[in-house]
Amino acid sequence: MIKPHGADALTPLFVYDTEKHHALIKEAETLPSLLLNSAAAANAVMLGAGYFTPLKGYMNLADALSVAEKLHTADGLFWPVPIVNLTKEAGITAGSRIALRDPNVEGNPVLAIMDVTAVETVSDDQIQFMAKEIFGTVDPKHPGVAVFTKLGNTLLSGPIQVLSFSYFQADFPDTFRTAVEIRNEIQERGWKTIVAFQTRNPMHRAHEELCRMAQERLKADGIVIHMLLGKLKEGDIPAPVRDACIRKMAELYFPPNTVLISGYGFDMLYAGPREAVLHAIFRQNMGATHFILGRDHAGVGDYYGPFDAQTIFAEKVPAGSLLIELFLADNTAFSKKLGRVVMMREAPDHTPDDFINLSGTKVRQMLGQGMAPPPEFSRPEVAKILMEYYQSIDG
């Protein structure tokens, strides 16, 4: 099986030992508390689940700046996005042990315990520098920039012990899976070549066919459709609706036991190329051998070129940094000439009129009016779920 990133085995920071877990929960009630922001809480969940192997906790300022600028920590570990605990709270001192509380669950239960090794002040210039490197812009209208630049100027670093997976297990019991669980399931199924597909949206026909193409061309044993379950920008489709759409599509249109549908507990960064590299790392950690990388991966608006998330791997990812291989996809659309979804670069004899292409805005308008997009664009069973959702919010 493929090795995790930078380690021989996964290093999940969740405390699985029951006795130790109970003791830490009890200890947490005696410790000073910090209410996390959602970004730091999502980082804790990913650290707990093993997706961020081999990290042991939150990065310090030197590592965060190095990762932002050079895509590696101060000691040389390849990593594309700072994993930080930025806060506005004061009064926490280096050397203290604190309970990290969950901002996304009622009552703010303990999410993790942190041994604070350093407390550092991050200047506004450093925040802006990191934002520019991570997101490629400091435009406050960019949803990732808007969140990152308002987290706070106090950086807490140090190892953590994770005691909860936040709301993800309770809200998505059939979908949320840790990297440990996905590796175990891949092993149980006997899969050797595994394709991972990232999504924060319901899958239309082009996405479905992209998975099928990758599976056929790579002779893969299975596909892991791995959806983001955390916070999104306004207007994105909520995870339960997305989950229902993807499950219906897989159930009806893929052979049994070829698709593993799962999700992970992280907030979307909308960081385009940098987030694509992070996605590749934690797909390697969950056991995938190949990762589908298509058009405008993890993008938003017009902040990134359509294939910037592919070129970063050639330009900024040193050879040998990752073991996972990429399946690079072009624009995909339904060809009226051929009667199937194709990659546009593989149909040089086509004109734009030979493809069925609908904008996201047009599709949303149709769904909101109770009109199903053409079956060449969206499976009718999936469109039905989406129509019900859009009519419920428009009504």
Q: Are 272 and 297 in contact (CB under 8 A)?
A: yes
Distance linking the first and last C-alpha atoms of the chain: 49
Catalytic residue among 200, 212, 247, 364: 200
**Rounded CA gap, 50 and 367, in Å?**
38
The contacts found for 20-28 with CB under 8 angstroms, 24 or more apart, are 21/163, 24/113, 24/161, 24/163, 25/110, 25/163, 27/113, 28/99, 28/110, 28/113, 28/163
Residues in the chain, overall count: 395
Give the C-alpha separation, 337 to 355, whole Å: 8
- Residue 238 · residue 244 · CB < 8 Å: no
Alpha-carbon gap, residue 362 to 359, rounded angstroms: 5
Report the alpha-carbon distance of residue 55 to residue 158 in Å, rounded. Answer: 10
Q: 186: which 2 tokens?
A: 């891949």
Instruction: Read off the DSSP letter of residue 103.
Output: T
* 379 carries an active-site annotation: no
Active site residue 189: no
> Strand runs (DSSP E) across 242-296, as ranges?
259-264, 290-293
Out of 97, 201, 247, 364, pick the active-site residue: 201
Q: Which residues are catalytically annotated?
A: 200-201
